[in-house]
Structure 1
Amino acid sequence: MKDHISVLQIDLSTQQIIIEKRKDLTVFLGGVGTGIKLLEENMIPEMDPYHERQPIIFSIGPLETIYPAVTKVAALFRSPLTGELGESYAGMRLGMAMRFAGYDAIVISGKAKNPTYLYISNNKIEFKNAESLWGIDTEETGRLIRDIELGTGLRSIVRIGLAGERKIPFAAVNVDTYRHFGRLGLGAIFGSKRLKGIVIHGNGNETIQNKKEFKRMYDEIYSKVVETDHMEKYHGIGTSINIKPLNNMNSLPTRNLQQSNFEYANEISGESFAKEMLFRKMACSGCPIGCIHVAVQRKKFGDPMEYSWSGISYDHELIFAVGSFLGIGNKDDILSLIEIIELLGLDCMSTGVLLGWITEAYQRGLITNEQIGRPIAFGDVEGYQHIIKNIVYGSNDFYKTISRGTNYASEVYGGKEFAAVLGKHEMAGYHTGYGNLLGMTIGARHSHLDNGGYSLDQTTKELDKNKLIDDLIREEIERNIQNCLVICLFSRKIYDLKTVVDALKAIGIEYNTEQLMDLGKEIYKMKVRIKKKMGYDYDTITFPKRFFETETLHGKLNEDIAKELLSMYIQKMDEICGENIDLFSKKETEKKLI
């Protein structure tokens, strides 16, 4: 394997391109490790997230594509939604295309003079005019680029919609139609740089020296993936299988978290979607699972019996966000909202939570008919479609304000006590207990995937405060390791530390479990350091009252206990960040200017 990390640097302002071979970055393995280091090197913490010198970083890991379920790409940036760390992951073909184009990381800075998309391949990088694509939705943009960029090989197309162009702070980046860099506003950063999209076309190859050992290790992991029950639920029903059990345990956020169970949970469950709407399953490149579930939605547009159809991917988080959270119990209605959100290029989870807050704020008289343009109530699909379009087009001052996200909207219009945000980031589809509440609040990117607090709640009968804090930190450190590689977190139980050590060794990379844990801890410390540089203050964290008013798996939560847990976490975090783990070496680089 290579003894360096190949970093492609692209300046949109000057159209300068530099390829660096960074030997010092190999200690970070790849993925979030390489990405967070490059972010720290390139970010300007005192400047606005939209400043043209702020970087976008994409990074893959050494196991990318060549082992089962190692499919993701890490994106690092400064979030326009929270003002601090932006970290997002996506799969489909992007990681494979990057690997076989020969780039372990891509750093994009600057601002194009005109709307632009990038074409990146093994031997050329081109800046292509995207003025004819500006203003076009994500689906049509993808189709037009596919028509332009003909050819064979391993290709991926990422692009933004109107939400990104208009710098909506929770705009997403669409990846090969069915996956997204969905959270924290990467799409808005694309838009601020006038970057409509990126085409990556890789047709290179790499040689594995010890083919026998690699095959043995590959077969072992493949067997665990397809022949055990570790990943069966992801292939079968998919993550939407979570709807019914979460509902049964009082943990499914409903009607802006006024409830934690939904009377129509059975109708919008994964089982119901699979039985009535599912028409295909897809997989990211290099994954045998096929966890991407695509529903077919028919639309009548004329008589007699004239129909069009759309293929719309769904999962637990999307069904929660525009289903239970909005009081919508009809599958077709949920799919129609997912479709408009993704065509416009918004993050579905943040959009759904914002719509929930708007509905309750309207009911309480904090916002008016005149501002919205019509009445709104839970379950009003046409009303939500109206609001979604106006969020993107910014038709009045009200829509320009709420387009900045739920936290900002609640600061302007009131209703912070029932705004379902943690760390300025809209909640995910779980209301399970203290682990979830604290985990999303203090996680590096305020995500349920940072430390799996929602899962810890489901395996805990009685609260052990010290154990919960230790488990949250350990989980975050271990997930940093997995995200260095960049393993799909659905397969996290398969890629335990021993398996990771063996998988790396089979391709010539020597690490032991202690070194991996040191790396995970160093990344944890880097994230805390970067967040503080960006102005995030752990001592100012608060919890909205709504999280203590609604039943969870463990009953209603106590605000004083939550504050105590937060204090304990901060103390433990400060202890870890005070430890000296020096993984840094002198920067060794070879540059190639093209």
Structure 2
Amino acid sequence: MPANKTYRVVIMHLDKGYAEPVSFGDTKELLGGSHLAAALYDKYGLPNEHWDHPDQPLIFAIGPLVGYFPLMSKVVCAFKSPYNDQYSESHAGGRLALAMRFANADAILFRGRAKTLSAAVIGARRLGLVDVHYLKGMDVFSTGRSLRKTIEGFSGHRSLMRIGPAGENLSGYACINVDTYRHFGRMGSGTVMGVKNLKAVMVQGDESIPLPEGKAYQTLFRDIYKQMTATHMMSKYFDLGTPQNLIPLNELKSLPWRNLQATHDSGVEGISGERFAKDLLLRNTACSGCPVGCIHIGMLREMFSDEHRFKYHQVAYDYEPIFSVGSMIGVTDASGVLSIMDEVEKVGVDVMSAGVAMAWATEAFQKGIITEEQTLTPLEFGYVEGYKKAVAHLGYAPNEFYMRLANGALKAAAHYGGEDFACVLGQEMAGYATGEVFFAQQAMSFRHSHLDAGGYSYDQTHNEQDADKAIDYLIKDEQGRCVLTSMVACLFSRGVYKNDVLSKCLDSIGYPELAGKLDTIGADIQKLRWQMRFKTGYDPVQTKIPKRFLEIETWKGKIDPQYLDTLKHRYGQALMEIGRS
């Protein structure tokens, strides 16, 4: 089966209300996903304009293996971030990747600003905008219910992205909800939709794709599928899932508690993966094209205010949400954690940023830096009802305090005070207080994500202080992940999808030129992405790591400020060599 020579990109001009499919790039050179998205931003982006310029593109891109192999189930969303006004990415699963494949769209790019609050419909046979002004201010769940009834056709073969009030109110970390249980979470992609007057995007998979002929593809597919399902390699993601990390990280003194005032607490049992599985787990589900089923759905049971009837919600959980609205804010009851997650889902904010921002606000409240007049509710570590109200305020931004906090804990701290204990590493920290290598990595890496490279893993397995060795690891690990995110493989599958396997996959569906480049193309993707980041104003020299990160203790002992500073300096130098060469 010969591959297409170019990628098919659907460009929707929101201000004009029409879309046009265009051919873009060379499939012998561009890998898809992160690679394709960066190339599209290089062509269509406005690096010197502010993030909210109407013609800044919002890009969604998939890779060549989507629809052909298991766990090729992610989509890359690229944009100029409202959080830092620099080029960034976010990744999500759900049904979106397959819906785009069956809509004959390798990428979707939005430009302009719709005249009224709108929903975009993208399919192989249908392209257009729908006026949904009546959804203004509506939460994520209500928006989904309304649009599924309003936009007819292809039920079960479509993917629905939408934003909540946080995106409309231009929060710095509003997310895009994808098919209820997945998200483009970090760096404010939902706010980019909000500023474009785009409440939702429905992608309809209304076309078919041919499968490769011959036994080579079939044999390769069966072998990969077997590795994904018949071995223990992926079983941990289905069983307890990522929440199994709570207890081990707590024992390693690497789990942030109460705004990182501690890295270990006996209360972890109440929010452990085991406790969630025993008391709250309802079912597992999976992204389309994935046989593993790592998405854990918990059942939340709450009493109505009249105390005579119960309401039930299904809420997806995994490690990062449990850390951010659990240990980070001192909540040690699994049901309480799930109820805060439910509020986070409604308003449409990134759960990690919301939890860490509330943790800063709680400590600032305790120290008298801010008052209840500003927070509108008492904030106390472990106080679930207060946090549920605070989450709603983050989404709806009813006063100046929440407008500032919704744009980042460090930005709020810069105004009110308390910068030393704002747990921000480029953006609000991920849940790994593992040590100096991870702190430097998240603070300075491409999208300030714990998934940009495996710094958290490196800290857990290396006790020596060798900055050159650590930086070399981070750079090379990022290159490998660039290949996977360009293929749009779920990173859980990285143990299976080594370069030799990926090369066979590409060759089997008609991409022999790309198949022969995988050992070098990772560095090319890495370079292009960093070039986009530097073009939009990134300066690693300006990176600051708040004092709180220097005050903790991990399994290796106290954090070494000098070693952390050395890592930061040399990592910055390495990134500048990549991005400015």
- State the alpha-carbon separation in 1 of the partners of residues 399 and 136 from structure 2: 22
Could you say which residue in structure 2 is the equivalent of 1:390?
393
AA in 1 matched with 2:121: Y
SS in 2 for 1:77: strand
- State the alpha-carbon separation in 1 of the partners of residues 419 and 149 from structure 2: 47
1:334 equivalent in alignment to 2:337: yes
- State the alpha-carbon separation in 1 of the partners of residues 320 and 273 from structure 2: 11
Could you say which residue in structure 2 is the equivalent of 1:162?
165
Alpha-carbon distance, 1:265 to partner: 0.5
Alpha-carbon distance, 1:150 to partner: 2.8
- State the alpha-carbon separation in 2 of the partners of residues 578 and 149 from structure 1: 46
Q: Which runs of 5+ in 1 are unaligned?
A: 580-594
Could you say which residue in structure 2 is the equivalent of 1:419?
422
Could you say which residue in structure 1 is the equivalent of 2:44?
42
- State the alpha-carbon separation in 1 of the partners of residues 559 and 15 from structure 2: 50
1:223 equivalent in alignment to 2:241: no
AA in 1 matched with 2:257: T
Could you say which residue in structure 2 is the equivalent of 1:256?
259
AA in 2 matched with 1:553: W
Could you say which residue in structure 2 is the equivalent of 1:62?
64
Alpha-carbon distance, 1:50 to partner: 1.2
Alpha-carbon distance change, 405 to 147 in structure 1, aligned in 2, over 3 angstroms: same
Could you say which residue in structure 2 is the equivalent of 1:310?
313
- State the alpha-carbon separation in 2 of the partners of residues 378 and 457 from structure 1: 28
Residue pair 2:348, 2:395 contacting (<8 A) in 1 also: no
List per-residue Cα deviations over 1:5-34 (Å, max 9, x = no partner). 001111101123221122425511110000
Alpha-carbon distance, 1:151 to partner: 2.5
Residues 344-383 of structure 1 aligned to structure 2 (within 5 Å)? 344-383=347-386
Which range moved further: 94-103 or 117-126?
Answer: 117-126
Residues 41-440 of structure 1 aligned to structure 2 (within 5 Å)? 41-152=43-154, 154-301=157-304, 306-423=309-426, 425-440=427-442
Could you say which residue in structure 2 is the equivalent of 1:522?
524
Alpha-carbon distance change, 11 to 513 in structure 1, aligned in 2, over 3 angstroms: closer
Alpha-carbon distance change, 466 to 316 in structure 1, aligned in 2, over 3 angstroms: same
Could you say which residue in structure 2 is the equivalent of 1:587?
none
Alpha-carbon distance change, 168 to 304 in structure 1, aligned in 2, over 3 angstroms: closer
- State the alpha-carbon separation in 2 of the partners of residues 569 and 322 from structure 1: 31
Residues 440-459 of structure 1 aligned to structure 2 (within 5 Å)? 440-459=442-461
Alpha-carbon distance, 1:252 to partner: 0.3
- State the alpha-carbon separation in 2 of the partners of residues 8 and 105 from structure 1: 6
AA in 2 matched with 1:264: G
Residue pair 1:257, 1:420 contacting (<8 A) in 2 also: yes
SS in 2 for 1:27: coil
Identity %: 39
Residue pair 1:481, 1:517 contacting (<8 A) in 2 also: no
List per-residue Cα deviations over 1:257-276 (Å, max 9, x = no partner). 01001221111001110011
Structure-1-length-normalised TM-score: 0.95
Alpha-carbon distance, 1:305 to partner: 5.5
Which range moved further: 279-288 or 405-414?
Answer: 405-414
Residues 494-573 of structure 1 aligned to structure 2 (within 5 Å)? 494-511=496-513, 515-573=517-575
- State the alpha-carbon separation in 1 of the partners of residues 514 and 125 from structure 2: 36
List per-residue Cα deviations over 1:10-64 (Å, max 9, x = no partner). 1101123221122425511110000011012111122211111111000000111
- State the alpha-carbon separation in 1 of the partners of residues 397 and 138 from structure 2: 17
AA in 1 matched with 2:487: L
Residue pair 1:210, 1:506 contacting (<8 A) in 2 also: no
Residues 17-28 of structure 1 aligned to structure 2 (within 5 Å)? 17-24=19-26, 26-28=28-30
SS in 2 for 1:265: helix
1:469 equivalent in alignment to 2:471: yes
Alpha-carbon distance, 1:493 to partner: 1.1
AA in 1 matched with 2:416: Y
- State the alpha-carbon separation in 2 of the partners of residues 65 and 420 from structure 1: 39
- State the alpha-carbon separation in 2 of the partners of residues 512 and 110 from structure 1: 33
AA in 1 matched with 2:215: K
Which range moved further: 72-81 or 135-144?
Answer: 135-144
Alpha-carbon distance change, 375 to 578 in structure 1, aligned in 2, over 3 angstroms: closer
AA in 2 matched with 1:105: A
Which range moved further: 52-61 or 528-537?
Answer: 528-537
- State the alpha-carbon separation in 2 of the partners of residues 213 and 23 from structure 1: 28
Residue pair 2:18, 2:128 contacting (<8 A) in 1 also: no
- State the 4+ residue runs in structure 1 displaced beyond 6 angstroms: none
